[in-house]
Amino acid sequence: MTRWRPLPDALPREARHLVEQLRALKDRTGLSLAELARRTAYSKSSWQRYLSGAKQPPRGAVQALCRVAGAEQARVLALWDLADRTWPHGVAVAAGAAEPAADAPPAGAEYRRWRAAALVSFAVIVVLLAGLLWVLPVGSG
């Protein structure tokens, strides 16, 4: 079992509960962070940030850990949903926490807004293309 450092005091109760559950799942796997990284699409340093409470884990990371640990995803994802509402977005929770990379996907509510904007943009493009195809003359045979 891993000896975990205390979670940051600034971490809200819901986020703290999620991280504690993720830590328990990670311990249940018996894997090191490097081994966990090899079995998921998330790096060792990302797992360090997620399990220290320094950064909110993406929903996909929670799903990946559940799969590796053989755990029920629905319960843990419900905890993620609760934590997502309270997680201090845009602020480093732990002192000295690394800022996310510029090309890192947005997390939580920010991701949902980004996804909605992308879907609307796609729909507009489809409508414009459909209109263009409507007005183009059909070749005579």
- Domain identity same for 23 and 12: yes
Assigned token pair, 32? 């090191």
Whole-number Å distance between alpha carbons of 87 and 106: 13
| Helix runs in 1-136, H state only | 13-29, 33-39, 44-52, 59-69, 73-86, 108-135
Q: What is the Cα 66 distance to its own chain's centre? A: 13
- Domain identity same for 82 and 119: no
87 half-sphere exposure, CB direction, 13 A CA radius? 25
Using a pLDDT cut of 90, give the percent of the chain over it: 56
- Domain identity same for 75 and 19: yes
Structural domain including 132 reads 106-141
In tens, the pLDDT along 82-119 reads 999 998 765 445 544 444 444 455 556 666 777 778 88
125 pLDDT band (50/70/90 cuts)?
confident
Per mean pLDDT, which range of 16-25, 26-35, 109-118 is the poorest?
A: 109-118
- Domain identity same for 45 and 113: no
In tens, the pLDDT along 66-86 reads 999 999 999 999 999 999 999
- Domain identity same for 56 and 112: no
Number of domains in the chain: 2
Q: What is the CATH number of the domain that holds 49?
A: 1.10.260.40
- Domain identity same for 5 and 21: yes
